Amino acid sequence: MSPMRIAVLGATGSIGGSTLDVIARHPDRYRASILAAHRNVDALAALCARFHPDLAIIADPALEGALVRRLAGLGARCEVASGATALERAAAGPLCDTVVAAIVGAAGLGSTLAAARTGKRLLLANKESAVCAGPLLRKALQEGGGLLVPVDSEHNALFQCLPGGRPVDLASVGVRRLILTASGGPFRGRSRAELAGVNPQQACAHPNWVMGRKISVDSATLMNKGLEVIEACVLFGAEPSQVDVLVHPQSLVHALVEYIDGAVLAELGHPDMRTALACALAWPERTESGVSFLDLASRGHLEFERPDTTTFRCLDLAYEVLRTGGDAPALLNAANEVAVEAFLAGSLPFLAIPDLIESVLAAMPAEPVADVGTLVHRDLTARAKARAMLARMCC
């Protein structure tokens, strides 16, 4: 049997690195046929020299020449392309049958939808595709008939606990609730009064692992969990009332599924993305991932508690936009990115992050998600409105 040909879009990021680690462990089973990166020419060229793909793509067209020269200097031979159109063509084209969608933000939307429309196995790590463009993603999957396997640890855990991964209808398989776990971030247990003067350094000091600054702040506000609730509703066809969140500071239980007979299935493991990626690549089989095995006895105990949505209001805002529907989740995401950027720059207090988001949502009634172009326009409009409101708040 020929190896599975995999396009790793976002190859130089953390998800891409974990994917390539799993691929390297199974050279007879998997092959990285396409590698793509945003602007990191040296890192992409080094990966090409190691994995020998058929095609290398740099998202910034201005860097295509530099990539060609760097590949030549390393003696790496492969086709080279650049730009968003090249990414979409590669995701839909004949050089791969599996696509790892790990490009961050709206830049990854087009290639994710292209892979879905052409029936590829889609390993989804691009949160924006589900949060901002859920209706478009569902339509593309219906058109293509491919297999979507989420690789965010929480959604992959749900996938593993559900019969068949992503059943057409949760009620038909006896599901009562989907439960996502949250670490609680660095401010778990603190009151609003205690958070009045927190700074970016404190917000980015996650108790369990080191992440990028933006996602660290999202973890601290619980917005990251709110976005995951939206994603769970899109990926698994759940109603907002069917998705709950539990704070679990040990971060060993990633998600749970409660059934109508009282049974609750949980997926546990070390917080290492290679577990989810190995699952997604091999599904419905299992394969070695390189992750160490979990010794529960040495961990002592596992704790669970309900989230404090009075102090951490962003989680409730996510449920609100789910109930609103349309492009409200995309507006929430856009406003949150501006708010977090302002907090990190020192121009917005931590507790004012949900205030700014709520103001943008109030000023922009939701509209139906029609197409990518309209969605991008609404995203940009929400960002502009958030910045204008921020300027007034800071005056």
DSSP letter string, 84-129: HHHHHHHHHSTT-SEEEE---GGGGHHHHHHHHHTT-EEEE--HHH
Smallest Cα–Cα separation from 133: which of 333, 388, 394, 269?
A: 333
310 close to 192: Cβ distance less than 8 angstroms: yes
pLDDT at site 30: 98
Residue that the structure tokens 């102090």 belong to:
311
3-state secondary structure at position 21 = helix
CA distance 45 to 74: 8
Most confident stretch, 127-136, 192-201, 220-229: 220-229
Domain locations along the chain = 4-146, 153-271+300-313, 325-395
* 11-58 pLDDT, tens digit each: 999 999 999 999 999 999 999 999 999 999 999 999 999 999 999 999
Pair of tokens at residue 370: 């029609």
Nearest 5°: the CA angle 275, 263, 169 is 75
Judged against a pLDDT cut of 60, whether residue 395 lies above it is answered with: no
* 69-103 pLDDT, tens digit each: 999 999 999 999 999 999 999 999 999 999 999 99
Assign domain 325-395 to its CATH architecture.
Orthogonal Bundle (1.10)
Least confident of 165-169, 226-230, 362-366: 165-169
Backbone region of residue 10 per phi and psi (left: phi > 0; alpha: psi in -120 to 50; beta: other values)? left
pLDDT at site 119: 93
Burial class (CB in 10 A: 0-12, 13-18, 19+), 23: buried
CA distance 372 to 31: 31
CA distance 305 to 142: 37
CA distance 32 to 365: 43
162 close to 135: Cβ distance less than 8 angstroms: no
CA distance 100 to 119: 13
Q: What is the DSSP letter of 305?
A: B
Element containing residue 362 per DSSP (H, E): helix 353-363
Element containing residue 42 per DSSP (H, E): helix 41-51
Can you give the pTM of this predicted structure? 0.94
134 close to 335: Cβ distance less than 8 angstroms: no
- Please state, rounded to an integer, the average pLDDT across all residues of the chain: 94
3-state secondary structure at position 179 = strand
3-state secondary structure at position 68 = helix
CA distance 185 to 188: 6
Domain 4-146 superfamily per CATH = NAD(P)-binding Rossmann-like Domain (3.40.50.720)
CA distance 356 to 349: 10
pLDDT at site 315: 97
The letter for the amino acid at 288 is E
Cβ neighbours of residue 261 under 8 Å, at least 6 residues apart? 174
144 close to 168: Cβ distance less than 8 angstroms: no
Q: What is the maximal distance between C-alpha atoms in the chain? A: 65
Q: Do domains 4-146 and 325-395 have the same CATH topology?
A: no
Judged against a pLDDT cut of 90, whether residue 394 lies above it is answered with: no
Q: What are the two backbone dihedrals, phi and then psi, of residue 268, each rounded to the nearest 5 degrees? A: -120, 155
